[in-house]
Copies of this chain bind each other. A is one copy, B any other.
Amino acid sequence: MTDPDVRASIMRAVYEALCESGYTELTAQDIADRTDKSKSLLFYHYDSKEDILGDFLEFLFERFDERVAETRDRPPVERLAVFVDWFLYGPEENDRQSFHVAMLELRTQAPYNEAFREKLRKSDDQLRAVLEEILRDGLEAGEFNEHDPEETAALLIAAFDGARIRQLTIGRDEYLEEVRRGTATWVFDDLLAEDASFPADRDPSTLPEPDQQHRLAADLGDGGNGDADESTDDDPAERDRE
């Protein structure tokens, strides 16, 4: 796989296919169909379907790195607020529920798949490092009260991830809101130093604006309004495969 364009086009096809079919139902054909190339070409570039998905995880994390760097120059309180927003409500690749559901399926394969697990660990390390850095910077800057950044980061990430997963799987959107309020009450209220406060438009105790979302989809060339069904069924979670 030398040509980055080819890789990008395959990665984009994987993304779209995951959105439409989910991980479990994903076939090599689904991916090829979203490419202007043949199915056999996939196996020319990759050893197996798993290998393709492994590279897709890699691809995702390469991009995550780029994003993180972008906000490093903002003050810690703001970065924390952005982090919460991003994790719980998007933006960026959080745009499509269907994609996140598929990623969740993929994560559950990690116990059976060394390659997946390794990439997910790298990703986990990254995520915790980002949050811990925010917390440490805030401590140093006097914006946050004394606390153990490692422990706090672990709690916040677990809570946000858990909330996201429960929302995605059983389709209860309230979860996000409740957990956001819960962290505001139990963590952020105590964390923020007297004179520090969340920026008004980022306060985790209020709902966020649906702002510059859809980054991954946009980068992948889609604009975030692809044909993934944003089902308007009575059951908001319904995403049944045809």
Contact = CB atoms under 8 A, between A and B. Distances in A.
Interface of A: 22, 24-25, 97-98, 101, 104-105, 107-114, 117, 120-121, 124, 147-148, 150-152, 154-163, 165-166, 168-172, 175, 178-179, 181-183, 185-187, 190, 235, 237-241
A170 B171 CA distance: 24
A161 B152 contact: no
Q: Is the interface of A mostly helix, strand, loop or mixed?
A: helix
B158 A166 contact: yes
User: How many copies of the polypeptide does the oligomer hold?
Assistant: 4
17 contacts: A24-B24, A105-B105, A108-B108, A108-B169, A114-B238, A121-B171, A124-B170, A151-B178, A151-B185, A154-B179, A155-B178, A155-B183, A155-B185, A158-B166, A159-B159, A161-B165, A186-B186
A169 B101 contact: no
B182 A151 contact: yes
Nearest to A240: B112
Contacts of A110: 169-171, 237
Nearest to A148: B185
Contacts of A152: 182, 185-186
Given A239-B112, A240-B114, A162 B157 contact: yes
Nearest to A156: B182
Contact of A161 (B124, B151, B162, B186): B162
A76 B80 CA distance: 34
